[in-house]
Amino acid sequence: MFPHLFNLSAYELNQFYVSTIETIEMTVACGFFTLVIGLPLALILVATAPDGLKPMPVVHRVLGFIINIFRSIPFIILLVALIPFTRFVMGTFIGTQAAILPLSIATIPYFTRIAEASFREVDQSLIEAVRAMGGSRIAIIREVILPESLPSIISGFTVTVVLIIGISAMAGAIGAGGLGNLAIVYGFQEFRYDITLIVVVILVIMVSIIQWIGDYLARRFNHRNNF
């Protein structure tokens, strides 16, 4: 019934290699921007909250509102809506490099809320103790909030990276490259179910590896496990 099932040519094998590398590139780049932008935004949300280190209700509400807007838009709709902006910034909206921008815009708000929740889990008595000893806001963030929330941040970032892999595959629907594009162009459009299956297996392996690394690092930096 399927005479070419798993009968992959050298060209198709090379496409798997190239697509896997493209997916890794998108994941790493998007993960980097998500971390370096989302983490400070989460700190700002926590610090400017009514019970934060420097309450600024207007800043807190406006920033939270903007983050909620982008978080509420389904990724495929956001991806299409950002095509003009992506083309303006990147010069094109097709390809691996162009996909990094909408991917980052989609995942930064998601991770920001995860990181915000992690920061809020920090024991307030520790913050008050440092404040009572004359510690500055920067000292509280550096010595208490970040170290205490690190295991939770790592777990949350791991979940975010797994999400990035999933939506990067979805971005293949508009020619973003990577494994998603391979599954659509060669798997779905040419009825190559073997290619689709192999793509799924590769994605499962990637997610499993990332989850294992994330779980290991979260346990490694959890100082409570040392007692």
pLDDT digits (tens, 9 = 90+) for 43-84: 999 999 888 888 899 999 999 999 999 988 888 888 888 888
What's the pTM?
0.87
In this structure, how many other beta carbons lie within 10 angstroms of the beta carbon of residue 187? Answer: 21
Q: For 101-131, how does the pLDDT look when each residue is reduced to its tens digit (9 = 90+)? A: 889 999 999 999 999 999 988 888 888 787 7
The average pLDDT across 92-108 equals: 86
CA distance 111 to 162: 12
Q: For 152-199, how does the pLDDT look when each residue is reduced to its tens digit (9 = 90+)? A: 999 999 999 999 998 888 777 666 778 888 888 777 766 778 888 888
One-letter amino acid for residue 11 of the chain: Y
In this structure, how many other beta carbons lie within 10 angstroms of the beta carbon of residue 176? Answer: 27
Going by C-beta distance under 8 Å and a sequence separation of 6 or more, which residues neighbour residue 71? 109, 110, 113
Q: Which of 152, 154, 148, 157 is CA-nearest to residue 112?
A: 157
Per-residue pLDDT, 105: 92
One-letter amino acid for residue 59 of the chain: V
CA distance 175 to 128: 51
Per-residue pLDDT, 29: 93
Q: What is the phi/psi pair of residue 55, to 5°? A: -60, 125
Going by C-beta distance under 8 Å and a sequence separation of 6 or more, which residues neighbour residue 111? 34, 35, 38, 39, 42, 156, 157, 160
CA distance 93 to 79: 10
Q: Which domains does the chain have, with CATH numbers?
A: 10-222 (1.10.3720.10)
Residue 42 tokens read as 């989460």
CA distance 5 to 94: 30
In this structure, how many other beta carbons lie within 10 angstroms of the beta carbon of residue 137? Answer: 14
